Structure 1
């Protein structure tokens, strides 16, 4: 993988021009590219999803169950009043029992995992923060509201909460460069599937999981989605149109710096699942389970993600626009030159290998008998060496909820590909 040499106009006018890291003139073996008109108008954290592990507070469960039985939709978190929340009881497909949402604040709270009993410790709390909540607060202020401050959400819902995973979406907004029609054919990544979506006005980017997707009708600029929401995902789309459609254009105009209102703003967004940030932390030898720790490495994380999916000029040469979008953005803290990678799975000993094979075989047998995930998990509970199974998962930085997810996916796959026949 090769990058272009960068020069600024002042350097090129000198007798002996010297490359620099910020120049807008790119020179490589293919040719000369002037990107001086390209402007980055915003670098932002678009979404934070923070997970917490702990024991649900009985008083909060009783309060929420009272709301559920009375079909109360507008609620407060405590009897002394406070912010109003929209409350709803969720089905099992949502993985959490209760949902509280306040779009004015920009917060969604999911509470009470279906994968564990409410009187047992588990991953019972997930809090999602919107762009406007994040942009109005410092890293510390965000964490105080989530965890460390008096009356934090984590302590309101859980006893002895522990941060257990942080997913982030990073966004860079820019103007004056449109991706060409052959963009997908020059993308280097591991995704294998290409799908097209024509009705862009009805598209919900958060719901798409195709490997590589393009969407936009005839004569409309293509937008792209690369990767899986359950892993790592890259989105490239017309942010001006998206903001107008969502009635958020005034908010974004206030956020964009020195943007030209006569030119559309395009966005590239990198979405990191909490498992990705966890594995990056394992590689670095540091914990990235909590928002403040993840926030310290966001710029390096951005560069790592841009290296996973790359737009090339040829087999080895990265396109100058991708180089610019990789190295010029900064999030909170400048890049520290970290050698970021995901920790590769260690070779497991024979006992661990046997545990993994046993789980797979039990899932196959359960699928043949028509068991669902709950029934399969109950059979695992009965095994005298169930503790060894959980120890195996915990040695990989996982928990019972991950075992439940393994079972659900395994049953679905076996039914789809015929092993349950």
Structure 2
């Protein structure tokens, strides 16, 4: 039985502890006495999978009663806390990975609200990316069940995520900056205000890309961009009058 990580099979047998660094720094696992307690695979800067004993963690954080009640509800009363341990499968996405995922019309997710609309898609992407296999290309039935049956309250169904690497925007960023700078100069000469400048910018068919560039690359939102445009207009007028 193997755990496939990032399209690379890795076999974990009865290890007590394992800390692999340098070239294999993306793999870490820890087995307790007997059954496995915690398995963590993947880098924190990418897609990380963690499988751990939630029953033992509940005891550590003193939430046994709460979780026992929840698990009893979701198992329709079949959960027996005296005989069963609950294990949690957890996928952790770095924000850079989420931004590279495209799910239908949902792309460039930059907020939790945007990501919440595609939770099931993110789950399915992760569970196929890092999965348990009985043998090569034969997925473990439990993994198949989690892929097909897990539901979220806010679903965007029927579309699997696709990873798109971030493109180099260094060249186009200069064009955006030059274009906005020229529009500021023209607006200043016409003695128009910042509202006129914003309206003209919004008429551009690539306005959304322009705003995305400022938000992602320059860390500037629309409100802050408006204030910067306003200050630039005043500065251009002052320099023009001084000349």
1:231: which partner in 2? 46
1:190: which partner in 2? 6
Deviation at 1:286, TM superposition (A): 3.4
2:240: which partner in 1? none
1:397: which partner in 2? 216
Query: CA separation in 2, counterparts of 1:288 and 1:396?
Result: 12
Q: Is the 8 A contact 1:194 1:210 kept in 2?
A: no
| Residue 132 of structure 2 corresponds to residue 311 of structure 1 | yes
Query: CA separation in 2, counterparts of 1:398 and 1:194?
Result: 40
1:294 to 94, 97, 115: 115
Deviation at 1:297, TM superposition (A): 0.9
Q: Kindly tell me: are residues 294 and 350 of structure 1, through their superposed partners in 2, closer, same or farther at Cα, counting changes over 3 Å?
A: closer
Query: CA separation in 2, counterparts of 1:243 and 1:350?
Result: 48
Query: CA separation in 1, counterparts of 2:26 and 2:109?
Result: 26
1:279 to 95, 100, 107: 100
2:60: which partner in 1? 245
User: Secondary structure at 2:138's aligned position in 1?
Assistant: coil
Q: Kindly tell me: are residues 230 and 284 of structure 1, through their superposed partners in 2, closer, same or farther at Cα, counting changes over 3 Å?
A: farther
Q: Kindly tell me: are residues 267 and 350 of structure 1, through their superposed partners in 2, closer, same or farther at Cα, counting changes over 3 Å?
A: closer
Deviation at 1:306, TM superposition (A): 0.5
1:357: which partner in 2? none
1:161-208 deviations in whole A, cap 9, x for unaligned?
xxxxxxxxxxxxxxxxxxxxx5xxx12223879997749xxxxxxxxx
Query: CA separation in 2, counterparts of 1:301 and 1:324?
Result: 16
Query: CA separation in 2, counterparts of 1:283 and 1:231?
Result: 22
Mapping of residues 193-208 of structure 1, within 5 Å: 198=17
TM score, norm. by length of structure 2: 0.57
Query: CA separation in 2, counterparts of 1:351 and 1:335?
Result: 34
Q: Kindly tell me: are residues 349 and 275 of structure 1, through their superposed partners in 2, closer, same or farther at Cα, counting changes over 3 Å?
A: closer
Query: CA separation in 1, counterparts of 2:148 and 2:25?
Result: 27
Q: Is the 8 A contact 2:29 2:40 kept in 1?
A: yes
Q: Kindly tell me: are residues 246 and 210 of structure 1, through their superposed partners in 2, closer, same or farther at Cα, counting changes over 3 Å?
A: farther
| Residue 42 of structure 2 corresponds to residue 221 of structure 1 | no
Q: When you count helix as a share of all residues, which structure comes out higher? A: 2
Mapping of residues 335-346 of structure 1, within 5 Å: 336-346=157-167
Query: CA separation in 1, counterparts of 2:219 and 2:16?
Result: 37
Mapping of residues 173-188 of structure 1, within 5 Å: 182=1, 186-188=2-4
Mapping of residues 349-364 of structure 1, within 5 Å: 351=171
Mapping of residues 104-115 of structure 1, within 5 Å: none
1:105-150 deviations in whole A, cap 9, x for unaligned?
xxxxxxxxxxxxxxxxxxxxxxxxxxxxxxxxxxxxxxxxxxxxxx
Q: When you count strand as a share of all residues, which structure comes out higher? A: 1
Q: Is the 8 A contact 1:283 1:342 kept in 2?
A: no
Q: Is the 8 A contact 1:283 1:343 kept in 2?
A: no
Structure 2 stretches lacking a partner, 5+ long: 19-23, 173-209, 221-243
1:260 to 72, 76, 80: 80
User: Secondary structure at 1:339's aligned position in 2?
Assistant: coil
Q: Kindly tell me: are residues 189 and 398 of structure 1, through their superposed partners in 2, closer, same or farther at Cα, counting changes over 3 Å?
A: farther
Q: Is the 8 A contact 1:282 1:342 kept in 2?
A: no
1:211: which partner in 2? 26
2:142: which partner in 1? 321
Off by >3 Å, runs of 4+ in structure 1: 191-199, 281-287, 348-352, 393-401
Mapping of residues 80-119 of structure 1, within 5 Å: none
